[in-house]
Amino acid sequence: MVVVLTLSREAAITVADLGEFGLIAAIQEILPPDTTAIVGVGDDAAVLPAPDGRTVASTDLLIEGRHFRRVWSTGRDIGVKAAAQNLADIAAMGAVPTALLFGLAVPADTAVTWVLELTEGLVAECDRAGAVIAGGDVTGADTVMLGITALGNLGGREPVTRRGARPGDVLAISGMVGRSAAGLAILQAGVDPASAPGLADLVAAHRRPRPDYQAGPLAAAAGATAMIDISDGLVADVGHVGAASGVRVDIEAARLPIPGLREAAALLGADWRDWALGGGEDHALAASFPAGASLPTGWLVIGTIGRGNGVLVDNRPWHGRGGWDHFPAC
């Protein structure tokens, strides 16, 4: 096994050189010892503790050229991002992420080093969330594709769905919005991130989102009535909460935490509100709380819940960039 790993760290070694089972062995070699799984990586299925008698589960696909580009992100960046977006879905239910399963499709000429870096990114983000990698699948494909499933533990709490927001609640977020979209815009414009203060942080936010996984369970414990992971864009995602709960959502733009966004937008000739209100992939959490509830550390009120439907920004419908549709009309 050590021989495989040593060989596989040479940049010239491709996935085809190792073969499927060699690649799996090389990946398993760098996974940290899993002390929580009852049956871990390497069998037909993993067996994991579900101590409160329930399992929280979410799955996502990431496709090269649509969700990431290898020229803009390292293998490690892509691993971090893939793990983060799924683990954040678990936190958004009020659960603690516990395990991750990943399917990886790569072209045969992919460098094994790249696959191992991606795995290291998955491992690092799981580690940050307190989760383990419990299983996976590798296969060939013409482009890189990832299928990620995250599991979590509610620890006896009731799940916080999208359906419980009530008129009179406040709307709050944990984390920042628009940073990933700003970082992507900087990369797309070919602007040197070192050319102005703050740009590098925005590019890093695009490459490696940093959800606060504890914010979800803390919000649940504090009485959050509804919660969602902001993956498609703030307006689009709180719109999902509004639709599921049968309420109107009012956002006050001036309350949004957007450090560095106005400056970067001015530099690029862009509108910071497009990023903050329409940009996805920051994986901040949005939640509604009863008015007067004591919000956990890190949660910031950005609006209110009212009677009606739809999303208003500063009392007006939002007509800017509207969030992400994976099948935009041609």
Subset of residues 161 to 200 that bind a copy of itself, contact rule: CB under 8 A: 161-163
Contact 90, 58 (CB under 8 A): yes
* Residues in Cβ contact with 89 at an 8 Å cutoff, skipping those fewer than 6 apart: 58, 60, 150, 229, 231
Token pair recorded at residue 96: 């603690």
Rg (CA), the chain: 20
CB of 123 to a copy of itself, least distance (A): 16
Can residue 93 be called a binding residue for a copy of itself (CB under 8 A)?
yes
CB of 316 to a copy of itself, least distance (A): 23
CB of 44 to a copy of itself, least distance (A): 4
Q: Which of residues 132-151 bind a copy of itself (CB under 8 A)?
A: 134-143, 145-151
Contact 248, 305 (CB under 8 A): yes
- Length of the chain, in residues: 330
CB of 279 to a copy of itself, least distance (A): 16
Can residue 92 be called a binding residue for a copy of itself (CB under 8 A)?
yes
d(CA 228, CA 234): 10
CB of 34 to a copy of itself, least distance (A): 13
Burial class (CB in 10 A: 0-12, 13-18, 19+), 292: exposed
Q: Which of residues 8-47 bind a copy of itself (CB under 8 A)?
A: 15-21, 23, 38-39, 42-47
Can residue 1 be called a binding residue for a copy of itself (CB under 8 A)?
no
* Residues in Cβ contact with 244 at an 8 Å cutoff, skipping those fewer than 6 apart: 161, 162, 163, 226
In the block, tokens 């739809």 appear at 310
In three-state secondary structure terms, 27 is helix
Stretch that binds a copy of itself, among 184-192, 289-297, 302-310, 319-327 (CB under 8 A): 319-327
Nearer to a copy of itself, 10 or 20 (CB): 20
- Chosen residue from 84, 118, 133, 154 binding a copy of itself by CB under 8 A: 154
Nearer to a copy of itself, 93 or 235 (CB): 93
What's the CA angle centered on 80, arms 120 and 1, to 5 degrees? 15
Q: Which of residues 51-90 bind a copy of itself (CB under 8 A)?
A: 51, 53-61, 63, 65-67, 89-90
- Chosen residue from 95, 123, 177, 277 binding a copy of itself by CB under 8 A: 95
Nearer to a copy of itself, 53 or 269 (CB): 53
Partners of 140 in beta bridges: 106
Map residues 203-242 to x or -, x wherever contact with a copy of itself holds by CB under 8 A: ------------------------xxx-------------
Q: How many CB atoms within 10 Å of residue 179?
A: 29
Backbone angles phi, psi at 177, to 5 degrees: -120, 155
Nearer to a copy of itself, 91 or 277 (CB): 91
Residue 166 CA to its chain's centroid (Å): 26
Nearer to a copy of itself, 15 or 270 (CB): 15
CB of 268 to a copy of itself, least distance (A): 26
Map residues 236-265 to x or -, x wherever contact with a copy of itself holds by CB under 8 A: --------x---------------------
In the block, tokens 């006896």 appear at 156
Can residue 105 be called a binding residue for a copy of itself (CB under 8 A)?
yes
* Residues in Cβ contact with 271 at an 8 Å cutoff, skipping those fewer than 6 apart: 265, 320
**Closest among 151, 36, 4 to 89, alpha carbons compared:** 151
Counting residues that bind a copy of itself (by CB under 8 A) gives 78
